[in-house]
């Protein structure tokens, strides 16, 4: 690019304008605006609703796993670190989707569990107890099908968990 | 209106939650997407994309048309992946449409995603309709890519809004310093 005096001007901005290949791929060369098949959308919605229905069962399955890891932390303190790592992974998986299926409290509690199991120092008995408090709180959410913020029940569950956190905080 | 045929489309899903991942895979398949690939986190996505570039036979595809990625993942999150795709020399396609999926919907977060070159942001919890809308938007409203000193990505100006004050845009296609690449 040269300016009127014939000197080279450095590029300030470069625009890339490409042919719309995705449109060609999905819509042929026919032109016009396309649409997603309404039938397919409805079918996908149905599949999503089905998954949402399965969600509490899926969480229950993970809670069983968490309980088992917790039990092992109690029974074999020398292996706590590896069990905590597994608990940490499960918690991470759980926190990712509660909201999508109408259970933000699961996300919140799993997030808390995930945070405090991400640790580098020694794992105390109190921490193991606290894992249990989280499992209990999430179990209550699923058993009671406590959706959304859960209103009073939700507030109560949060309060109970917070009390447990306060109680065990700083304890050995 | 004609219906899209997604059969030739190849989509990469990057999501660490198993449940959401299978939900996305399932939804895209039902919508008719021909090739759906899924990985756990950004690091695996980078490995996959490198493979598409260097060894398409073993990757199973020659190209990825759309990347749908969660934001919050470890060790490599969605934003790090997006930065790699847009800027790294090993990236197979720096222009690939990128849908960032996130539970963060505060304007500050959305702006952050946009400024790093995300094509679309899909808020969690999402609906199938929302996924459909993002696909339509990517296909129908392909935007030019802009490369300046501090930005590379799809044009962040999506709408034509009348300007009430002085128009500070001094450059047009013919201005010195403006380069246009077509392809």
Nearest residue, CB atoms, A58 vs list B19, B65, B125: B19
Mean pLDDT of chain B: 91
Instruction: Tell which B residues from 74 to 103 touch A, by Cβ distance under 8 Å.
Output: 74, 95, 97, 103
Which domain covers residue A111, as residue numbers?
Answer: 56-169
Instruction: Tell which B residues from 104 to 133 touch A, by Cβ distance under 8 Å.
Output: 124-129, 131-132
Query: How many other β-carbons are positioned within 10 Å of the β-carbon of residue B97?
Result: 23
Whole-prediction pTM value? Answer: 0.80
pLDDT value, residue A1: 47
Q: How many domains does chain A have?
A: 1
CA pair distance B12, B67, nearest whole angstrom: 5
* Alpha-carbon distances, residue B119 vs A83, B9, B56, B155, B180 (angstroms): 40, 17, 25, 9, 20
Residue B85 phi/psi, 5-degree rounding, is: -60, -45
> Is residue A15 within 8 angstroms of chain B, CB to CB?
yes
Instruction: Tell which A residues from 60 to 119 touch B, by Cβ distance under 8 Å.
Output: 92-93, 96-97, 99-102, 107
Q: Which of B128, B141, B150 to mutate to test the interface with A (most CBs of A within 10 A)?
A: B128
pLDDT value, residue A92: 81
Low-confidence ranges of chain A (pLDDT < 50): 1-2
CA pair distance B26, A100, nearest whole angstrom: 15
**Residue of A62, A150, A135 lying closest to A103 (CA atoms):** A150
Chain B contacts of A106, Cβ < 8 Å? Answer: none
CA pair distance A82, B170, nearest whole angstrom: 61
pLDDT value, residue A9: 80
Average pLDDT over residues B12-31: 92
Least confident of A89-93, B124-128, B148-152: B124-128
- Distance between start and end Cα atoms, chain B: 28
Domain boundaries, chain B: 10-142, 143-183
Q: Identify the residue with better confidence: B16 or B96.
A: B96
ipTM of the complex as predicted: 0.88
| Beta-carbon separation of B148 and A93 below 8 A | no
Indicate the length of chain B as a whole number.
183
Average pLDDT over residues B105-118: 89
Average pLDDT over residues B31-43: 95
pLDDT digits (tens, 9 = 90+) for B161-172: 777 888 777 788
pLDDT value, residue A30: 64
Average pLDDT over residues B117-121: 95
**B37, B64 in Cβ contact below 8 A?**
yes
**B120, B97 in Cβ contact below 8 A?**
yes
Q: Which of A1, A9, A18, A22 to mutate to test the interface with B (most CBs of B within 10 A)?
A: A22
Query: CATH homologous superfamily of domain B10-142?
Result: Response regulator (3.40.50.2300)
**A149, A109 in Cβ contact below 8 A?**
no
A40 part of a folded domain: no
A84 part of a folded domain: yes
pLDDT digits (tens, 9 = 90+) for B78-90: 999 999 999 999 9
> Is residue B166 within 8 angstroms of chain A, CB to CB?
no
A124 part of a folded domain: yes
pLDDT value, residue A93: 80
């Amino acid at each position: 690019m040269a300016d009127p005096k014939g000197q080279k001007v450095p590029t300030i901005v470069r625009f890339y304008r490409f042919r719309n290949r995705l449109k060609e791929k999905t819509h042929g060369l026919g032109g016009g605006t396309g649409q997603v098949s309404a039938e397919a959308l409805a079918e996908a919605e149905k599949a999503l609703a089905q998954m949402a229905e399965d969600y509490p069962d899926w969480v229950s399955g993970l809670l069983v796993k968490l309980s088992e890891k917790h039990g092992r932390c109690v029974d074999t303190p020398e292996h706590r670190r590896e069990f905590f790592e597994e608990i940490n992974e499960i918690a991470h998986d759980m926190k990712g989707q509660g909201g999508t299926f109408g259970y933000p409290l699961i996300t919140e509690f799993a997030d808390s569990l995930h945070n405090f199991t991400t640790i580098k120092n020694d794992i105390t008995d109190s921490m193991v107890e606290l894992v249990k408090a989280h499992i209990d709180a999430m179990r209550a959410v699923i058993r009671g099908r406590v959706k959304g913020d859960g209103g009073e029940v939700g507030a109560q569950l949060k309060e109970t968990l917070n009390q447990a956190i306060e109680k065990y905080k700083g304890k050995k | 209106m004609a219906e899209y045929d997604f059969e030739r489309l190849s989509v990469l899903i990057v999501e660490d939650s198993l449940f959401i991942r299978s939900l996305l895979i399932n939804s895209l398949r039902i919508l008719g997407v021909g090739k759906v690939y899924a990985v756990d986190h950004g690091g695996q996505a980078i490995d996959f994309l490198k493979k598409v570039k260097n060894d398409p036979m073993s990757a199973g595809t020659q190209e990825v048309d759309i990347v749908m990625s969660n934001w919050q993942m470890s060790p490599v999150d969605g934003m790090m992946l997006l930065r790699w795709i847009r800027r790294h020399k090993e990236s197979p396609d720096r222009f690939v449409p990128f849908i960032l999926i996130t539970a963060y919907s505060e304007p500050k977060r959305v702006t952050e995603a946009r400024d790093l070159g995300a094509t679309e942001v899909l808020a969690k919890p999402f609906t199938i309709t929302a996924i459909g809308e993002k696909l339509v938007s990517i296909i129908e409203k392909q935007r030019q890519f802009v490369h300046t000193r501090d930005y590379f990505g799809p044009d962040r100006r999506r709408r034509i809004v009348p300007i009430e004050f002085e128009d500070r845009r001094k450059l047009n296609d013919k201005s010195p310093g403006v380069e246009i690449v077509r392809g």
